[in-house]
Structure 1
Amino acid sequence: MSHRESPPVPPYLVLALGILAVSMASIFIRFAQREASSLVIAAYRLTLATLLILPVAIGRYGHEWKRIGRSDLLWMLLSGVFLALHFVTWITSLEYTTVASSVVLVSLSPVFVAIAAPLFLREAISLRTALGILLALVGSGMVGLSDACTGSPLRCELGGSRSLIGNLLALAGAVMVAGYFMIGRRVRGRFSLPVYIAIVYGTAAVVCLLIVAAARLPVLGYTPMTYVWLSLVAIFPQLIGHSSFNWALRYLPTAVVTVTTLGEPIGSTILAYLILGEIPGWIKLLGGGLILSGITIVSREGASA
């Protein structure tokens, strides 16, 4: 890791920009959902991001494409499938539950990676990691139940709750992106970032477009403002946000970057309160705090392993 190099701009400033960019995702998606379906939004996000990064991947890193082996290609294609399913489930969750619940629950991906690591990566779970997983799971239960409870916390109606469906979709999104991260850990280091994400994003875009076609959803005919929201989803959270985190890894320890990205649920919740008027209850705040604490423990342990 070359984080000792002198950066051209302060890395923490870039991290702050990245957090702000990814925190805007749920807000942009909410506005786009006024006219476009969640599946179409996912397809646009990945397709536009792929079209923007592909010229760089081909123009500056064309030599890398010739040395992509069959095994690596298959892994990257599978990673793209996981990424597509992540966006399909998570973006759809925003139709059913609050921004706070959705972004906090989908942030559980490091926990699911830690759970799956002993099986797929043969990495042992430490006692601190187990504690982090437990805290995060308890917190996710609290967040999930808080949306299904009306009035007293002891009076919950789980059956037919739209919020519960949304929370389960967000959890599914966390599982899917965990698969994406685990494959990335296996393959990413052998290729430059533009080449890797061009293949993965491109695959995810194709999967989403096929799903949209199968569902016979319209991809054109929206108002100009909807196209603006769709473009902003692709540019800010997908390209600027994630690229900022990857850039910061060159100058800062992995643990610092990983834990800093946990500011996304906080930023999204604040923006949802200011823009959408969504006020999280005390149960959700407490559960979200447990989730973020658990993820922090898991991320630090994973980074130091």
Structure 2
Amino acid sequence: MEKRSRKIIPFFVLLLGILAISTASILIRFAQREVPSLVIAAYRLGIATLLLFPLGWKRKYTANLKGKDWVWLVLGGFFLACHFAAWITSLEHTTVASSVVLVTTTPLWVALLSPLVLHEKPGSSVWLGLIMAMVGSIWIGLQGNCAFEGMSISCLMGDSIQKRDYLVGNLLALSGALFASGYMLVGRYFRPRISLLPYITIVYGVAAVCLLGFVGIAHQRLWPYSGRALIILVALAIGPQILGHSAFNWALRFLPASFVTLGLLGEPVGTMILASLFLAELPTWGEIVGGGIILAGIYLASRSTLSTPN
């Protein structure tokens, strides 16, 4: 009984992480009124690193790290930076529906790569839960952007979106999913070997430096912005990044990467709830159905993972 209780704790931490990252879309929407997307990402990781640095960067934490370990840490930070840069930028070129459909393939890539990279083979229940959650996420992405007429479906693009931009946006969204899966796989490989605080401090710091480089390449300004925007950026760093992403990184020490990444699909459900509360955007029946499918898939996979002996 005690062993089962210890196994349940990572699930609760993962749930808290889902709730925290669900606030990201709301905060980003407010910040984008005056701050470019790449700058938002750079501030998010930069502020998070500065807040974590006093506790997370101590010589005793990194004394035993070897050259190969640093390569993995830098690689994880680079993947995280590329994920944010590619996914957020994709929203400027393609429709929200297309971006959501492609970026929610992250758990699929993790499940496919885990046997090769980590030698973790997801069970049949995890695969079924993964498919259900992805179907629900895709269904949510289609709502409001596609018209359902009988057995047919038609999705429309705005007149301002050119075919070339649409293709670029889709490729960026898919790249964001691939980079996110790389970030999760690196975390699953490395987390059992290092404590949470030094790990996230280093990885977030590397991601922040990379994003600052991306901002420079894009010739976007880092300053000045209003006090309101800065407060939102700080909230984005504390909530979705430090609390949300760190919860996922903590869970990677105890749960398979394929399942932890599956939890990311719970974000659209939390975002729908928060949007209805703070943006007066009530979910449609289609979105509610999609959210129910996602939760059912996560529940199915969690039961399988919880019952698997360590």
What TM-score do you get using the length of structure 2 for normalisation? 0.76
* Aligned counterpart in structure 2 of residue 234 of structure 1, from 212, 237, 244: 237
Q: How many correspondences in the alignment?
A: 294
Task: Using the TM superposition, give the Cα deviation of residue 232 of structure 1 relative to its aligned residue in structure 2, in angstroms.
Answer: 1.0
3-state SS of 1:27 partner: helix
1:139 to 1:170, Cα distance in 2 relative to 1, 3 A: farther
Correspondences of 1:24-39 after superposition (within 5 Å) = 24-39=23-38
- Cα distance in 1 for partners of 2:298, 2:177 equals 12
Deviation readout 1:166-196 (Å, 9 max, x if unpaired) = 7876664443222111111111111111111
> Where does residue 22 of structure 1 map in the other structure?
21
Correspondences of 1:133-282 after superposition (within 5 Å) = 133-150=130-147, 152=149, 154-158=152-156, 172-243=175-246, 264-282=267-285
Check whether the contact 2:133–2:265 (CA below 8 A) recurs between aligned residues. Answer: no
In structure 1, list runs of 5 or more residues that go unmatched. Answer: none
Task: Using the TM superposition, give the Cα deviation of residue 79 of structure 1 relative to its aligned residue in structure 2, in angstroms.
Answer: 0.7
> Where does residue 78 of structure 2 map in the other structure?
81
1:115 to 1:16, Cα distance in 2 relative to 1, 3 A: closer
1:277 to 1:93, Cα distance in 2 relative to 1, 3 A: farther
- Cα distance in 2 for partners of 1:208, 1:15 equals 26
- Cα distance in 2 for partners of 1:178, 1:75 equals 14
1:11 to 1:116, Cα distance in 2 relative to 1, 3 A: closer
1:227 to 1:51, Cα distance in 2 relative to 1, 3 A: same
- Cα distance in 2 for partners of 1:3, 1:137 equals 28
Letter in 1 for 2:226: T
1:103 to 1:160, Cα distance in 2 relative to 1, 3 A: closer
Q: Comparing 117-126 with 26-35, which one deviates more in the overlay? A: 117-126
Check whether the contact 2:24–2:236 (CA below 8 A) recurs between aligned residues. Answer: yes
Task: Using the TM superposition, give the Cα deviation of residue 44 of structure 1 relative to its aligned residue in structure 2, in angstroms.
Answer: 0.4
Identity of aligned residues (%): 47
Check whether the contact 2:196–2:250 (CA below 8 A) recurs between aligned residues. Answer: no
Task: Using the TM superposition, give the Cα deviation of residue 93 of structure 1 relative to its aligned residue in structure 2, in angstroms.
Answer: 5.5
> Where does residue 42 of structure 1 map in the other structure?
41
Check whether the contact 1:146–1:283 (CA below 8 A) recurs between aligned residues. Answer: yes
1:160 to 1:298, Cα distance in 2 relative to 1, 3 A: farther
3-state SS of 2:224 partner: coil
- Cα distance in 1 for partners of 2:178, 2:305 equals 17
Check whether the contact 2:133–2:294 (CA below 8 A) recurs between aligned residues. Answer: yes
- Cα distance in 1 for partners of 2:19, 2:31 equals 19
Letter in 2 for 1:56: L
RMSD over aligned CA atoms reads 3.9
What TM-score do you get using the length of structure 1 for normalisation? 0.77
3-state SS of 1:222 partner: coil
1:89 to 1:277, Cα distance in 2 relative to 1, 3 A: farther
Task: Using the TM superposition, give the Cα deviation of residue 109 of structure 1 relative to its aligned residue in structure 2, in angstroms.
Answer: 3.6
Task: Using the TM superposition, give the Cα deviation of residue 65 of structure 1 relative to its aligned residue in structure 2, in angstroms.
Answer: 1.8
Task: Using the TM superposition, give the Cα deviation of residue 231 of structure 1 relative to its aligned residue in structure 2, in angstroms.
Answer: 1.1
- Cα distance in 2 for partners of 1:105, 1:295 equals 19
Matched, 1:53 2:52: yes
1:185 to 1:16, Cα distance in 2 relative to 1, 3 A: closer
Letter in 2 for 1:215: A
- Cα distance in 2 for partners of 1:283, 1:301 equals 28
In structure 2, list runs of 5 or more residues that go unmatched. Answer: none
1:262 to 1:143, Cα distance in 2 relative to 1, 3 A: closer
Deviation readout 1:180-223 (Å, 9 max, x if unpaired) = 11111111111111111111111111111111000000110212
Check whether the contact 1:111–1:295 (CA below 8 A) recurs between aligned residues. Answer: no
